[in-house]
Structure 1
Amino acid sequence: MANLTITVDEDVLRRARIRALERHESVNAYLARTLERYADSGVSARAVFAEIGELADAAQAGSEGTGRTWTRDDLHRE
């Protein structure tokens, strides 16, 4: 394995360390995975699904943006 040195704002690193602790991972492991995805494909499936999820959360479905217009039973009818 090779070592990589980066320069980052101290506050950004502090916040990243806190987030990593909350997610039970290390900043180093996260950066290594991110760099690997960047090197391999540029865009990961996880990133695509995360963006789709964000778009879905932000969407206003139904009449006048009041919510969904279907029920669970509607989805499972044959």
Structure 2
Amino acid sequence: MNITLSVDGQVAARAREAAQKLGKSLNQVVRDYLEQLAGTAQRGQQWAQFEQRCLQSNAQLGDWRFDRDEANAR
């Protein structure tokens, strides 16, 4: 998918220089950022769904209790 952005010429030039220092094109830097942004939103949504499932769960631990010494045993 192609996206058109409007950016000040000086900003684009400085961004292109910064991308070049990273060994990337400006296009690749923008693509990487968008992928990261989309992934972050997806992880947040997945975490919220997991949290809801946990809160709505009828699971029971029986007599089990957290034991700090057992958790730290090597």
Q: What TM-score results when the alignment is normalised by the length of structure 2?
A: 0.51
Unaligned segments of structure 2, at least 5 residues: 42-74
- 1:6 is aligned with what amino acid? L
Q: Indicate the residue corresponding to 2:71 in structure 1.
A: none
Between Structure 1 and Structure 2, the one with more helix by share is 2
- Structure 1 letter corresponding to 2:38: A
> Percent of pairs identical after alignment?
34
Higher RCO, 1 or 2 (CA under 8 Å, sep at least 6)?
2
Q: 1:20 aligns to what?
A: 19
Moved over 2 A (4+): none
User: 1:9-64: per-residue Cα shift (whole Å, max 9, x none)?
Assistant: 1000000111111111111001001001111114xxxxxxxxxxxxxxxxxxxxxx
SS in 1 for 2:14: helix
Residue 33 of structure 1 aligns with an amino acid whose one-letter code is D
- The amino acid that maps onto 1:5 is T
Unaligned runs of 5+ in 1: 43-78
Look at both structures and tell me which one has the larger radius of gyration over its CA atoms. Answer: 2
**Alignment match, 2:48:** none
Task: Please show how residues 1-78 of structure 1 align to structure 2 within 5 Å.
Answer: 2-42=1-41
Superposition TM-score, scaled by structure 1 size: 0.49
